[in-house]
Amino acid sequence: MNQTRGQRFLLELPAVQNDLPFPPDLLPRLFRLTDEGGDSPLAAIASAISADQGLSTRVLALANSAFYGLQAQVTNVARAVAVLGLREIRALILALGMSGLAARRPLPRDFALAPYLEHQVAVAQVAQELARLSGTMDPDDAFTAGVLHDLGKLVTALYHPEDWQAQADLAATEHLPWHEAETRHFGLDHGLIGAMVLRSWNLPDSLTEPVNWHHAPQSAPEPRAPGAILNCADACVRLLTHDPAPGIDLEAPSLAILGLTDQTALKAARTALDARDPALFTAALT
């Protein structure tokens, strides 16, 4: 284990915001504007996004993609915000931020960006449905947290590719779950890395904590349900897309936290994935 190297990496994480494809202060502004019970007009949110022409163009491209299936084309950001909703726009911009980070630096040869992004969106869709079903988390926050749940993997691959490769080799050689290979190599896992990045972006605990604990929700401080939702959503997506990963399975403690059975969770996951194809979002994102 190179725990010292891992601790040094944590100190580097606040600088990640400098590589976002939009001004770093946009995210906290959007979260203030879209906060529960906020009375900021749609125009203020549209104005915050429209101030960046490149971001506006990408938001409109995604809003008009086949993923959303809108009946009429959206031609301005204000209309996109009105049609999709404030929190959907927020999640969309965070997804754009992730793809923008990936465009700034070379990824390791074995890191496949499109499948990674598709998995993020699939987990987001399933997490949203599990949140609705269990009544334990705001469904829109669950979607956003799902989009971000493996951010730490991407950040490690971009900023410490040699460590990402060492983790990949360790996971493959010893048949370890990825988060266990990370912990053995680094002394920390991608949940913590992702949460630390999100905290440096001044995002709320409702997003950072589920990301932090999604591989050990039973060990999380209360409330444990948000982490359990991501944990179950990740497992459901792996099972339904025939994309197994060591150590990722529907776990009884997570299901118990949510008051669900494995069959009800999988049924909800199928419903979510059948409703919208995550590959359509990824195609528009990349």
- Phi and psi torsions of 109, nearest 5°: -55, -40
Q: In the chain, how many domains are there?
A: 1
Which residues form the domain of 268? 3-285
- Sign (positive or negative) of CA dihedral 134, 135, 137, 142: positive
Q: Which of 229, 195, 194 minimizes the C-alpha distance to 209?
A: 195
The pLDDT of residue 38: 52
Decide which of 157 and 88 is more confident: 157
Return the structure tokens found at 72: 């009429």
Residue 244 CB coordination number (10 Å) = 11
Q: Using the predicted structure, report yes or no on whether residue 91 has a pLDDT greater than 80.
A: yes
Q: Using the predicted structure, report yes or no on whether residue 39 has a pLDDT greater than 60.
A: no
What's the pTM? 0.94
Average pLDDT over residues 144-149: 97
CATH number of the domain that residue 165 is part of: 1.10.3210.10
Decide which of 107 and 1 is more confident: 107
Average pLDDT over residues 39-57: 84
DSSP string, 220-279: SPSP-HHHHHHHHHHHHHHHHTT---TT-S--HHHHHHHT--HHHHHHHHHHHHHHS-HH
